[in-house]
């Protein structure tokens, strides 16, 4: 049973437009959510996170929205840039150990110039 | 500075070889992790060290042996691996292991392991 799902394996967006990456989860015990970005041949890089007590967190061009009732979160990138092209992983955790995050399968974002 | 450095970046080893992967961080983090990642799959947790003690072993086969010599270093010793163990091995660290928002995990670039 996959507890964190990213249903879109890929997304293609024009430069300057908004990119919206979606993530759904099933475990209502999750209370902290993260987005990681991964370039080929590199490890994931932490991007932005949100606690379950909030519904929005913003950092520059990146905003994460959390809808607890729908068990859904999304990452908005505005404006999208070609350098944003990467695989984006959604992760969620509730365990007492920060390392036991559950990751989604990732969404490959391609931003076209 | 949020840097976790891993060596080597690439490793090819035979099934009878003994090799090690190394990881280092100087952020004062007290928790360090090993993950395994296959192509097009999310990272899978293998081991967690907290204050230099092994706190979690996710039922990893004994051919993988972690070691934490000090709070900045984490090794993964490899012996008698199988071809299916070929993957990207990621080291990560965080300030602590509690689930507070300050304990974000920072990953290294990974070591690509090929077992032949």
**Could you tell me which residues come within 8 angstroms of residue B62 by beta carbon, excluding any fewer than 6 positions away?**
none
Q: How far is B34 from chain A (nearest CA, A)?
A: 9
- As a residue count, chain A comes to 113
What's the CA angle centered on A21, arms B100 and A45, to 5 degrees? 50
Could you say which of B48, B90, B101 has the minimum Cβ distance to residue A32? B101
CA A97 to chain centre: 20
pLDDT of residue B112: 94
Could you say which of A42, A96, A98 has the minimum Cβ distance to residue B94? A98
Please tell me if residue B112 touches chain A, with a CB cutoff of 8 Å: yes
Please tell me if residue B33 touches chain A, with a CB cutoff of 8 Å: yes
Residue B56 has pLDDT above 90, yes or no: no
pLDDT of residue A94: 76
Could you say which of A36, A49, A99 has the minimum Cβ distance to residue B33? A99
Measured between alpha carbons, how far is residue A48 from residues A9, A62, B24 in Å? 20, 8, 23
Site of tokens 């996959």: A2
List, for residues A36-56, the tens digit of each pLDDT value.
998 887 788 889 999 899 999
pLDDT of residue B62: 94
**DSSP three-state, residue B16:** coil
Please tell me if residue A103 touches chain B, with a CB cutoff of 8 Å: yes
Residue A66 has pLDDT above 60, yes or no: yes
Burial of residue B78 (CB within 10 Å: 0-12, 13-18, 19+) is buried
């Amino acid at each position: 049973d996959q507890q964190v799902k990213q249903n879109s394996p890929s997304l293609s967006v024009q430069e300057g437009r908004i990119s919206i990456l979606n993530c759904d989860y099933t475990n209502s015990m999750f209370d902290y959510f993260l987005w990681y970005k991964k370039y080929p041949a590199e490890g994931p890089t932490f991007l932005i996170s949100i606690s379950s007590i909030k519904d929005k967190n913003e950092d520059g061009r990146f905003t994460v929205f959390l809808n607890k009732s729908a068990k859904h979160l999304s990452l908005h990138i505005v404006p999208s840039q070609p350098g944003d092209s990467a695989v984006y992983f959604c992760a969620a955790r509730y365990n007492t150990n920060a390392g036991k995050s559950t990751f989604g399968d990732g969404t490959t974002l391609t931003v076209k110039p | 500075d949020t840097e976790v450095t891993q060596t080597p970046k690439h490793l090819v080893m035979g099934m009878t070889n003994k090799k090690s992967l190394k990881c280092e961080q100087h952020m004062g983090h007290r928790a360090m992790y090993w993950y395994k990642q296959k192509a097009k799959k999310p990272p899978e947790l293998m081991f967690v060290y907290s204050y230099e003690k092994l706190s979690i072993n996710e039922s990893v086969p004994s051919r993988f042996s972690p070691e934490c010599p000090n709070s900045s270093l984490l090794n993964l010793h490899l012996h008698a691996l199988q071809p299916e163990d070929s993957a990207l091995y990621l080291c990560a660290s965080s300030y602590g292991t509690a689930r507070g928002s300050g304990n974000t995990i920072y990953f290294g670039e990974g070591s690509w392991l090929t077992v032949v």
